[in-house]
Structure 1
């Protein structure tokens, strides 16, 4: 299929551009906030922590504007599946990930509530403007709640890890990289969506499937790189928090975009198969973290190790088997 060559090149260039530009864009945004006098800890908890979701947001926006809102929904659900199954699973194989108390009392309950809200808006197999407003409207109060709780309960290791992520730049450098990063981010998202749509058309599969697979894995690469590098550097404290925060942001911001732009019809399987799988992995993550914390006498040593990571990777692979079986029929 000769038309697949430019599509493949567009997908490859889009992925490379997204990863590169997201890093520059987030770094410049954090530097600008620091120069404006914002607390480094607050910057680390907001701009830096949520910045790894920038590729998903731009891809969702581009897809929705091109009338491929189901690709955006697939990207949000698939990215959350990849974050828990692939990113967390792979990171837990490298190092034991500590479970801080605030994850159980703050971020995890919020993630479960947000996951339930996402199921509520997806149940009727369409995303409307009202659905988009519901999801996006929850974003600010949810983030304020998490920031307040984490600022109070962060460990010294988490504080250092969050603040180290902010680069030192002059005002001119920061704004230059902000503009360049944003421009490349937008262009890369357009390339990626074009390649994904062309590939879906050539193979006769829905954009939803492409969003769940190729796009979701590709846009989760920044989370994978950040989590693995944090583990290798010994910054194990922030790995679980980053993954949970990214999943919350994906459901509230990334999934809201197509509904805000136009009513989007979705394959019913997106709820019964993909949302159900994502919700199941999310619930297993919550139960696994709660059990590891509650049944550990020394709470400071509670954590998720390689057995849990291996099981998450196995379940993620199992989801792909189900996806293949249901789409091959």
Structure 2
């Protein structure tokens, strides 16, 4: 029975992602909203619904610390695994708005989460502040879209007046597709998580490792399925916007709402402050040089992200089991792998800046 639910969950994820991408891209065209805005809002909110369900339920049941681990783990998974896998399947073109606004915002709120958690707790006041930040972010996105697409909005209004019956029906169909896709994504991810937990338990893996890896990764499976399918279908703004938007939603909305539900706020464990949240910040910062250089995410960069997620997961397993290979593994990562990666990114950024300056210079007469 577990194996059947696992397979059905995978099928529901793929089908739900296809419906969500079709509906979201169609709604963007019908409503005159840019696909990137749809990806950053509607799709990101929908694919973050498993994180919201898990975190809110844990907060209301008195286990609010699970909410923090779920959000932090999901944000790391979204960038390293989901973005890496999407770029490995189809190289992705990055919108300039992401580099100038949304990725810096993702980095800022990740650092903000670390700062408000330094006292060991995210209070209800902190949670209210995070939730208010999401409202302001969404209002700014739609204001910016309206300002940048006034001509498109005017054409859309004229079309609606000329053909008042067809447009509502098409919009309703897109909304139905989005809703149906979200339902399939949530159900599919739930079945897939349940099956994965059973498999992990059979293998004798500890509950700590299951929580840090399978639960966080499982609640991010909708993002993975949606971004990969969106990339294959050519909706690359939705593919990348979904990931960045989901990370912003996870901190501002999922963690904010969970903190409001929790009677005593959300406890921030020392391990989260000393390791997991800094890793989440480092992963967010790593997006900037990758996105900035040519405004594309190449396949090798996607492979690099996947490799780092494999290393992060391996570290969690080694640490949880107190394996003898942990010191050697940590030494190799800190002394060789991470410095070489940072050096590579610095060279890429310097080359991109030099090429940009060269292109902007007037040609000699």
TM-score (norm 1): 0.72
Equivalent position to 1:324, from 309, 317, 327: 317
Structure 2 match to 1:214? 214
Residue correspondence of structure 1 range 44-59 to structure 2 within 5 A = 46-59=41-54
Query: Secondary structure at the residue paired with 1:255?
Result: helix
Q: How far apart, CA to CA, are the structure 2 residues paired with 1:173 and 1:317? A: 37
Q: Quick check: 1:127–1:258 contact (8 Å CA) kept in 2?
A: no
The match for 1:254 is 254
Which of 268, 273, 276 is matched with 2:275 structurally? 273
Alpha carbons of structure 1 residues 279 and 9: separation in structure 2 relative to 1, 3 Å: farther
- Of residues 85, 88, 102, the one that matches 1:90 is 85
1:313 aligns with one of 303, 306, 310: 306
Residues 95-244 of structure 1: pairs in structure 2 closer than 5 A: 95-149=90-144, 209-244=209-244
Equivalences, count: 299
The Cα offsets for residues 142-177 of structure 1, whole Å up to 9 and x where unpaired, read as: 2222333455569xxxxxxxxxxxx96796996899
If you compute each CA radius of gyration, which structure gives the higher value, 1 or 2?
Answer: 2
Task: Flag the 1:181–1:315 CA change in 2: closer, same or farther, 3 A.
Answer: closer
Q: Which residue of the partner structure matches residue 298 of structure 1?
A: none
Give 1:56 shift: 1.2
- Distance in 2 between residues matched to 1:170 and 1:102, nearest whole Å: 26
TM-score, length basis structure 2: 0.65
Of residues 266, 275, 282 in structure 2, which corresponds to 1:264? 266
Provide closer, same or farther for how the CA distance between residues 192 and 237 of structure 1 changes in structure 2, counting only shifts above 3 A. closer
Check the 8 A contact 2:47/2:182 in 1, yes or no.
no
CA RMSD in angstroms, aligned pairs only: 4.2
- Could you tell me which runs of 5 or more consecutive residues in structure 1 were left unpaired when the two chains were aligned: 155-166, 294-301
Q: Work out the CA distance in 2 between the residues paired with 1:231 and 1:26.
A: 10
Q: Can you give the 5+ residue segments of structure 2 that lack an aligned partner in the other structure?
A: 150-167, 323-365
Output the CA distance in 2 between the equivalents of 1:225 and 1:89: 13
Write the distance in 2 (CA, Å) between the matches of 1:315 and 1:147.
34
